[in-house]
Amino acid sequence: MTTQIAMQKALSLAKEAAQMGEVPVGAVVLDENGHVLAVAHNEVEIGHDASAHAELLAMRRAAVKRGSPRLTGCTLVVTLEPCPMCAAAITHFRIGRLIYGAYDPKGGAVDHGPRLFQREACLHRPSDIISGVCERDAAQQLKEFFHQLRS
């Protein structure tokens, strides 16, 4: 599966999340060959679980499917820049490649905020980080969701 197709799947998952009253974030984990291991969208409100972010749920599901807590060589595709919690989880799951859509200057931890992967003490860094993939579409989903929420 190409990066673009994986991001389109993540955007579709984000749309599902919004329809359920969740912040529209979707995530896809691909194996080394580009096959989908797991998908998820935010489930914070549904599960009453502040840690139920799309990328964390997708990585958990992929690890179960692989039978290993390490996702070495896998790619995480997510519609929003990971927060500090999810960026830390990416290090522990040993994600090989990170691709994300919208930037999050307020809550992100990759290109904003603590920039976790740039810290000297970081346990593991994805070998490749690609940001801004379908950024306009991902950002628009978030803007529309929060606009409707405030109306």
Q: Is 22 a catalytic residue?
A: no
What 93-96 contacts at long range (C-beta under 8 Å, 24+ apart), as own/partner pairs, is 93/59, 93/63, 93/69, 94/70, 94/124, 95/59, 95/71, 95/126, 96/32, 96/71, 96/72, 96/126, 96/127, 96/128
**Catalytic residue from among 55, 120, 135, 144:** 55
Rg (CA), the chain: 14
Q: Which residues are catalytic?
A: 55
